[in-house]
Copies of this chain bind each other. A is one copy, B any other.
C-alpha cells in the first residue's frame, strides 16, 4: 500500500529530521531534503528504516531554479501523494549590519525563506487540491514578527513568509489546504545548525544554562505539536502558534 508522503524541505538533525522521524513513525513515508551532508541525510533515512519506517533522502539546493518543482513532481510520480509538507528552511545568517549585508545576501535570504515557500506552494497545492486537501507546516522565527539590528535580510524574508502563509490560508483553507505558521521563539537544541553557529563549547553551555536538560527547545517534543497541528480536524484548525521553552522569555520580554 502506498503511504502518504510527508515532504520535509530542510531536513537537518534538528526540527526537520526529527519531524520527519515522527511522521514516519506514524505511518507516513518521509521524504527528507537538505542542501548538503549526504552522510547525515542517509543516517537519518537509515534511522527511520531501522525503526520500521519509510524514508527517502535527497540533496537539493532550494534556491536553484526548478529544484523544488522537480522534486515535488518526482515524489508525486514515484513515491506517493504528498499529504504534508514541512517547510523548514531558515535564512538566519547571524547578525549582519546593513553595510555588511550585500544585495546578494539580502536576495539569498528572500530566495530561501520566502520565494522557496511560494514555489513549493505553487507546485504542491494543485496536487493537494485535486486530492481534496493537504497540510503545509511552516517553521518560522521571531524575525517574522519584529525587526532587529543586524536582521535586515532575515526579518524581511521571514516577515514576507508569514504574510504569504496568511495569504495562502485565505485562498485555500476553504479548499481544505491547511497552512500553519509555527513561530519558534527560542533556541532549538539542534547540534548541526545552532551548534555549528555558536560552537560546541558555547552550545553545551547554553544547554546547561537554560535550565537542566530541557531549556532549549527539544525537537522530539516540538515534533509532537507539528504532528498534532497537521492532524487537527478541519473544523478546528490552528494557523498561527508559538513554541517556547518554559525557561525562556517571550521575544518581547527582557531579562
Contacts and interface: CB of A to CB of B under 8 A. Distances in A.
B216 A235 contact: yes
A93 interface: no
A163 B146 contact: yes
A106 B118 contact: yes
A99 B114 contact: no
B156 A161 contact: yes
A253 B239 CA distance: 14
Interface stretch (A32-40, A77-85, A170-178): A170-178
Most B CB atoms within 10 A — which of A107, A159, A173? A159
A205 interface: no
Contacts of A244: 173, 236-237, 239
Contact of A246 (B110, B176, B217): B176
Given A155-B164, A163-B158, A249 B106 contact: no
B252 A146 contact: yes
Interface of A: 97-99, 101, 103, 106-107, 110, 114-115, 118-119, 121-122, 125-126, 143-144, 146-152, 155-174, 176, 178, 189, 211, 214-218, 221-222, 224-225, 228, 232-254
